[in-house]
Amino acid sequence: MDNIIFLTEPNAEYRDAFYEMVKEYENSGEEFYFNFYKKGIEDFDAYLQKQENNALGVDIPEGWVPCRTYWLVNNKKRLLGVIRVRTSLASDYVAKFIGNIGYDISPLSRGNGYGKAILALAIEKIKELKLDLEKLLITCARDNERSKKVIESNGGVFESEIFDPEEDVYLRRYWIELKTPCNGN
């Protein structure tokens, strides 16, 4: 069977795959993502509950917006990446610096087209959910050529660069249109 990939909400079926992904970040020395996910290893059930609450907009930190998390997995139950869909830009920080979408591909899965795939699948998921979004803001670090290519290959149109003083990085801002033009029907 070929490598079939799809998005799923975080769930207990992929607990071992989640642990493996977090260990990949640790072993590759990527402290940011290891620290981002390690609470999920410490208490996986609480991690799942937090993801569900974030999607519903329950108990989210001040200055943030509801966020739906999806895992990119394959038919071999391997977790290849994670994408976060922020359902609004109602926060100044979100609207300026991080946008509607954040994603990461696990270290051992990079270079296989999964970045392009996870973003394309998330765009389709957003359309299916009929979220009240006409376009998506997505950002990436100025020097992140892989993300730049992923965003542009999914229809991202460059808007501007902005400096994020909190992260000490210049970010490229892109917009992806969700609404298809009327074809006269």
The CATH number given to whatever domain includes residue 115 is: 3.40.630.30
Q: Which residues contact 99 (CB under 8 A, 6 or more apart)?
A: 86, 89, 136, 137, 138, 139, 173
- Residue 83 lies in domain: 5-132
89 within domain boundaries: yes
pLDDT band, very low/low/confident/very high, at 83 (cuts 50, 70, 90): very high
Q: What is the mean pLDDT of residues 109-131?
A: 95
140 strand-pairing partners:
172
pLDDT tens column, 160-171: 999 999 999 999
Predicted pLDDT at 179: 74
1 has a pLDDT exceeding 80? no
pLDDT band, very low/low/confident/very high, at 2 (cuts 50, 70, 90): low
14 has a pLDDT exceeding 90? yes
144 within domain boundaries: no
